[in-house]
Amino acid sequence: MSILKTIPIALDLKRVGAQSQALPTLVEGDNGNVFVITLTDDGEPLDLTNASRVICVFSKTSDGKTVEQDTDDGSVVIGGTDHNVITIALKASSYGAGTNNCEVQIYSGVNSDVLVTTANFNFRGRKGIMNDETIQAEEKYPILVSLISLVTSSTSAADAAAEEATEAAEMIDGMVVEGTVLEPGSTPTVAISEVEIGGKTVKKITFGISRGRDGQIISVNGKTDPDIILAAGDIGTTGGSNVQSDLDSKVPQTRMINGYALSSDLIISKLDAVQLLTASWAAVSGETDVYSQTVTVESGTANSCIELQPSYSQIQQLIEDGTLSLQIDNNNGTFTAYAVGDPPSTDMTIQCMVNILAQETETRTYYAGSYTVTPRVYDQVLETEEHIMSDDLTVETIPLERVSNEQDGVTTTIE
């Protein structure tokens, strides 16, 4: 006996009622969905005894096509005590991922020349998680997950990541991992394929990792001269994690944050949490499958960037709900959460990191004194307060002089 997903729907000839019904999201490709539609006319049962043909018309946003099923092909059946219930064995090709619209056409008369059409309703579909690149679960698979994270987050450690990826193959049964280093600026890649090894088909995972440019400046204010020195407020990109600058005291060692040149002591990171309420999600006007809601970030400011850090269980829930991505936008201190795909079906409180671009209130200068200290028998003070240190402080060994004495001993003299 087949297992079917039966979905009851109330549909009126005139009133738009099904629009407000909470219809479940269908998975693209399923062929076990059944719509059981109870038809009414202004609230009263709509008798289909004299109907010669009933057609259900579906409009899909996934490919823009219109599909129909009817009583002639047997996929639509009329029944019910009041003869006002139609059962539709929904075909896989009748709907797709995204929004789907449906209406019912009823033909009657001697020559089926009389047509009436019900109000329409819509329901949503989503793509299934399974795809052609899905692989069998492996208890050592977290090794690959951490390598993928390393690939996408760090181009400056390209050589080390490639070596680790290759070595991981020896620890994972039935898998081959290969790491390659790409040219600077290339987009990191991950590809899954199948190869024959010893007469056995195994999965092969290939990482492509972009090599960094060792701190070389790529562009500043649209210019690409590598000799350009960043100035405060300049906008540019860099191939490495840091760019050494010989500016004034405000930018001793410069790095790029969201496209801006900032000194490392201008970033303040705070751990916080964002509450996302199911009832607050609203469709974004003019966008398809995009929803938003205004949220509160307690430690957020007009100069902060919010990084969501959902837990494992929350990620599983988002996958189940068909939520493709979540992000928080900051418009001068007003925070808006955006969900692409289907919005989360439950209330969520998600941990986040708040990166605040602090505003300096004073000018500091470089420490101009010596960075080498020789221990003495008297106090020494390095005037470093309120100054920026540009190098490590080196404390030399205590100056000692040892000589033999007349008592066959050693005399030690500390300068």
Judge whether 153 lies within some domain: yes
Q: Is pLDDT of 2 > 80?
A: yes
pLDDT digits (tens, 9 = 90+) for 356-388: 776 543 456 788 888 888 887 788 888 888 788
Range name among 165-169, 203-207, 388-392 with the lowest pLDDT average = 165-169
Q: What is the CATH number of the domain that holds 50?
A: 2.60.40.3350
Q: Is pLDDT of 341 > 70?
A: yes
Contact present, 30 and 95 (Cβ < 8 Å):
no
Say if residue 160 is in the same domain as residue 249: no
Range name among 82-96, 220-234, 250-264 with the lowest pLDDT average = 250-264
Q: What is the CATH number of the domain that holds 337?
A: 2.60.40
Q: Which of 124, 125, 121, 123 is nearest to 38 (CA)?
A: 121
Range of 204's domain?
Answer: 142-210
Say if residue 156 is in the same domain as residue 174: yes
Say if residue 221 is in the same domain as residue 206: no
pLDDT digits (tens, 9 = 90+) for 25-55: 999 999 999 999 999 988 899 999 999 999 9
Judge whether 377 lies within some domain: yes
Say if residue 175 is in the same domain as residue 247: no
Distance CA 18, CA 335 (A): 34
Residue 386 Cα distances to 229, 234, 254, 346, 371, angstroms: 25, 25, 19, 50, 16
Distance CA 255, CA 285 (A): 37
Q: Which residues, 6+ apart, have CB-to-CB distance to 192 below 8 Å? A: 133, 135, 203, 204, 205, 206
Share of the chain above pLDDT 90, in %: 32
Say if residue 160 is in the same domain as residue 191: yes
Give the chain's mean pLDDT: 77
Say if residue 307 is in the same domain as residue 383: no
Say if residue 38 is in the same domain as residue 79: yes
Say if residue 229 is in the same domain as residue 281: no
Residue of higher predicted confidence among 299 and 141? 299
Helix orientation angle between 142-153 and 158-168, rounded to the nearest 10 degrees:
160
Query: Looking at residue 17, what is its pLDDT?
Result: 55
Q: Is pLDDT of 403 > 90?
A: no
Q: Is pLDDT of 69 > 90?
A: yes
- pLDDT band per the 50, 70, 90 thresholds, residue 260: very low
Q: Which of 172, 210, 178 is nearest to 193 (CA)?
A: 178
Residue 126: in which H helix or E strand, if any?
Answer: strand 121-126
Instruction: Tally the domains of the chain.
Output: 5
Q: Is pLDDT of 72 > 50?
A: yes
Say if residue 329 is in the same domain as residue 346: yes
Judge whether 363 lies within some domain: no
Judge whether 169 lies within some domain: yes
Distance CA 282, CA 301 (A): 24
Judge whether 262 lies within some domain: no
Range name among 102-116, 253-267, 339-353 with the lowest pLDDT average = 253-267
Judge whether 383 lies within some domain: yes
**pTM (2 decimals)?**
0.36
Say if residue 22 is in the same domain as residue 109: yes
Judge whether 102 lies within some domain: yes
Judge whether 137 lies within some domain: no
Say if residue 402 is in the same domain as residue 315: no
Say if residue 27 is in the same domain as residue 112: yes
